[in-house]
Amino acid sequence: MKLLIAAVVCLAAAPHTRQSPFDVVAALTRGKVESERYHATLSFETFTSLIQIPAKLGARECRMVVDTGAPMVITPALAKELHAELLGTYETNDSTGHKQDREFVLLPTVEIGGARFSDLAAIVVDLHAIAEFRERSIDGLIGGNLLRHGALAIDYGAKTIEFASDAATLAPKDGLEVPFDFSVQAMPIFELSLGGAGVAQVTLDTGSNSFLELPASLVDRAGPKSCLDIQGSASTGAFGNAPEGERLCRLDGLALAGTVLPSMVVAAVPGDGATVGIRFFEKTRLVIDWPRKKLHIADAAQLGRLALRTHGLAVKYVDSGVQVATVLVGSSAARAKLAPGERVLAVDDLDLSSGSLPAFARATDVLRDEARATATVVVEIDGKPVRLELVREQLLPD
C-alpha cells in the first residue's frame, strides 16, 4: 500500500478554479523568512518511508511531515489549539478526484531547527483519517509555501535533512542537475523522457512513499519488458483509496536532463498524472533549490527501484481492523489465494484481531521490510483463521 499524502495526502490543494471572494493564490504565495540567511540541519525519523521532523508552530512543539506535494497543512485540533485566524475557504481538488471546501488559516511563526518563518497560510485537513498519521500523532505538513523560500537537502541514508537560504551550501560538487518549474503551491515539476514514447511532466512529491508513477498509456507506448497487475487499490489517503488498475512494469529508456537512467520498475497508473515519490531518491542525496529552480542529484545511477523483490501483500486499517489492501499477481500472496478485503488477524507475532493501531503500524513495517525473507500472516477465510507463510521473491526483472 502507498500513502498519498502526496498531496496532502493527496489532497494537496491543487486549487480547483472557480469564482471565490477568497484569493487562494495570494494565500499560498504569502510568507517570509525572519532571518535573511539561515542553515538548519535536523535528523529525521521515518514511518512508511515518509519524513517526520520536529517543528514549532508558535510555542507549540509539533510532529510534521515534509511534503513537497502540498502546501502547509495542520489538523483541525491544532488549528483550534493555536486559535488560528481564518483567512477564507476554497474548494480544493485532490489527486483522487475528490473536491471539498477547505479552510485556510494564518499560522503563527514556524520554526525548524532555528530557522523561523512567518505570515504563512495553511489548509486545515483531518490527517488523522489516515491510520499511520493517527498512530504517529502527526500535527501537519511542512509544505511548499514554506519550502519555496530557500533550498532543501535530503540524505535518506544518513537520515538528515537541511534547510538553507542558499543552495550553494547544500548542492553536491558534481552529480546531475535537473531544471524544474513549480506550481502555485510550489510543487516541483520536471521533465522525464521516455525515448520515442514522449516526455512526462513529473511532480516531485515527498509526501508520497512511492517510487515513480507514470500514466499507463505512456508506459504502454514505451514498450515495457514485463508487467504485473495489482489486485485492489495500492494507494490510500485522507479521502480513501485511489482508483484500481495499477501495474508494476520493467521499463528501459528513462532519461533526466539528457542522462539515461538504469532500467527500473515503475508503476503504471490510471489517469494522466506522473509522480516521483520520496523512495525514488532514498539511495542518493537530493537537493531542491526553489529560487534557482534546480534539482541536484548526487548519483543518478542510484535513482528509483531497480528490481522488485516482494511477497506481494499490503494491508490497510479499516474500521478498527486490518484488511488485505493489495495482492500482486504472480507473487507468493497471490499463490496463497489472498484477496483484497479479507480480514488479517496477525502478521508474524503481532496480534491484529483487536484492531490495535500500534500493532498495525508495526505490522506494516514488518511487511515492508525487504531484509525479511518471509512473513507469516493469519487471515480470516469463511470465518476461520488460516495461517500462511509468504516468501519474498524477485519478480522483476523475471
Quote the pLDDT of residue 94. Answer: 61
Whichever domain contains 365, its CATH number is 2.30.42.10
In the 8-state DSSP scheme, what is residue 11? T
Owner of C-alpha cell 483567512:
87
- Are residues 204 and 103 both part of a single domain? no
26 phi, psi to nearest 5 deg: -60, -40
Per-residue pLDDT tens listing for the chain (398 residues): 566 554 443 334 344 444 458 899 999 999 999 988 999 999 999 999 999 999 999 999 999 999 999 999 999 999 999 999 999 999 876 655 667 889 999 999 999 998 999 999 999 999 999 999 999 999 999 999 999 999 999 999 999 999 999 998 897 778 999 999 998 889 999 999 998 899 999 999 999 999 999 999 999 999 999 999 999 988 776 656 777 899 999 999 999 999 999 999 999 999 898 999 999 999 999 999 999 999 999 999 999 999 999 999 999 999 889 999 999 999 999 999 999 999 999 999 999 999 999 999 999 999 999 999 999 999 999 999 999 999 999 999 98
Residue 191 CA: distances (Å) to CA of 3, 180, 188: 24, 8, 10
Count up the domains in the chain and report the number: 3
Whichever domain contains 217, its CATH number is 2.40.70.10
Which ranges of 116-201 does DSSP label H, i.e. alpha helix?
131-136, 144-147
Strand partners, 112: 115
Contact 198, 70 (CB under 8 A): no
Give CA–CA dist 178/287, Å, rounded: 10
- Are residues 289 and 370 both part of a single domain? no
Classify residue 125 as exposed, middle or buried by CB count within 10 Å of its CB (0-12, 13-18, 19+). Answer: buried
Quote the pLDDT of residue 320. Answer: 81
Domain boundary among 114, 132, 167: 167
- Are residues 215 and 346 both part of a single domain? no
- Are residues 92 and 112 both part of a single domain? yes
Best CA proximity match to 117, nearest among 27, 33, 41 = 33
Contact 207, 230 (CB under 8 A): no
Give CA–CA dist 70/73, Å, rounded: 8
- Are residues 130 and 243 both part of a single domain? no
- Are residues 297 and 329 both part of a single domain? no
Quote the pLDDT of residue 96. Answer: 58
- Are residues 298 and 314 both part of a single domain? no
- Are residues 17 and 30 both part of a single domain? yes
- Are residues 282 and 328 both part of a single domain? no
What is the DSSP track for 39-61?
EEEEE-EEETTEEEEEEEETTEE
Quote the pLDDT of residue 319. Answer: 84
Quote the pLDDT of residue 239. Answer: 57
231 phi, psi to nearest 5 deg: -85, 130
Question: Which residues constitute the domain of residue 210?
Answer: 171-302
Quote the pLDDT of residue 79. Answer: 98
- Are residues 44 and 82 both part of a single domain? yes
- Are residues 112 and 34 both part of a single domain? yes
Contact 152, 162 (CB under 8 A): yes
- Are residues 13 and 131 both part of a single domain? yes
Contact 162, 39 (CB under 8 A): yes
User: Cβ of 36: how many Cβ atoms within 10 Å?
Assistant: 6
Domain boundary among 137, 152, 167: 167
Domain boundary among 117, 152, 167: 167
